[in-house]
Every structure is written in C-alpha cells, then in structure tokens.
Amino acid sequence: MSDLPYDPDRLTACAAEIIATTRELSTLGWTPATSSNFSMRLDADHAAITISGRDKGGLTPADVMVIDLTGAAVNTSARPSAETLLHTQIYRRYPAATAVLHTHSRTQTVASRLFAADGVIRLKDYELLKAIAGHTTHETQLDLPVFPNTQDIPELVARVEAWIQADKPLYGYLIDGHGIYTWGRDMAEAERHIEAFEFLLGCELDLRRLQA
C-alpha cells in the first residue's frame, strides 16, 4: 500500500492524458515558447499539473507534478508555477471539473487585447456554442470575460471569484495579452471547450476584419 496522499495509479493515468492533450495542442501552435499549462484533478484534495517552463511538444511523466488545492507541491521538490492558483481555484469552485487547460494561441492573445477594454467578448448565433456544456441551441449568448493581466496571481484569482460571486455563468476566461483558461468534467470536455473557444474567437476576429 502506498503512503502517498493520492492514488499513484490515478496520477499515472492523468499524466498520460495530460501529455497526450498537451502534444495535440502544441502541434496546433497554441503553446508557443514553453508557455501554457495543463492539469487534471486526482481527487477532492489533489491535482496533477505540468511543471512550468518545459517545451510542451515533448512532455514526459517527469514533467507533471502533484499539488494540493491550496497550490502547494506534494511529494516533490519541484516548485509549482504561480499560475497554479488559477487551476486550483477552478477545482475548488467547480467540484465537477476534472481538467483545466490554459493555452496561449495567437488568436486568443489578439482577441484578449482587442476586447480588453470591454472586459468581455459576447459570443452569439454560432452553432458551435452547442459544444459548450449546457448549451443546446445557437440562439443563446455566452459572455467570455477578459481580465486584465497581472503578475499578481491572487489578484487574478480575486477577479475570477468576483465574476463567479456575481452569479454570472463561467465556462472559461481570457487574460489580456495572455491566453485562455477553460475546463471540463473530463479531459474530452475540456478539449471540446478549448477547441470551441479558439474557433469562436477566430470567427469573431475574422468578422470584425470583414465588417469594418
């Protein structure tokens, strides 16, 4: 029996899922220059997360570490990235969430800069909104917030918290000049969400160029 505070088999399985997804998103060019990070929930109190600063195209299990939901490293000397707190916030606030993805595509960065002053991107009338959990029709609108960037991660956590406290639905968010955070009940749903947001943001940028 393991003395670890988490199930090592669950860690092995989660690390494999994280590595596979990371490779896919890296191939799409959404993780430039060692940016981006990815995590999965291990249990009510722990998550597995990529160690920051690694090239996302060729991760191995050694590039995945365990944290508790306060963001502290567990059973490792690796130092979790400051942004880890944005992952643990999702796991604490949304008990059903088991995967959190943060990428950094050009479309995400450009959209965040363009809509930073508005603080939100309103997405509507797209069939692909149905790819976001809980949406069954395109006749809907989804508000994707754009928070100001800061190196003070607790400040960012507080902005996300304020949005949630205001009872506004939250399926993901952008950080200005930075990238996107989104999540899902499993890795497949999280991937569906990040693909859908990337697509919808790309359409919004194209339409803005075309309707100018």
Residues that bind a second copy (CB under 8 A): 32-35, 55, 104, 106, 109-110, 113-114, 125-128, 131, 136-139, 149, 151, 175-179, 188, 192-193, 195-196, 198-199, 202-203, 205-212
- SS3 of 154-175: the string is HHHHHHHHHHHHCCCCCCEEEE
User: Between 32 and 75, whose beta carbon lies closer to a second copy?
Assistant: 32
Nearest approach, Cβ of residue 24 and a second copy (Å): 9
Nearest approach, Cβ of residue 132 and a second copy (Å): 9
Bridge partners (DSSP) listed for residue 102? 37, 181
Nearest approach, Cβ of residue 129 and a second copy (Å): 9
User: Between 68 and 195, whose beta carbon lies closer to a second copy?
Assistant: 195
User: What distance in Å separates the CA atoms of residue 203 and residue 212, rounded to the nearest whole number?
Assistant: 14
Overall residue count recorded for the chain in this entry: 212
User: Between 11 and 22, whose beta carbon lies closer to a second copy?
Assistant: 22
CA 62 to chain CA centroid, nearest Å: 21
Q: How many CA atoms lie within 13 A of 100 on its CB side?
A: 28
Nearest approach, Cβ of residue 203 and a second copy (Å): 5
DSSP state of 115: H
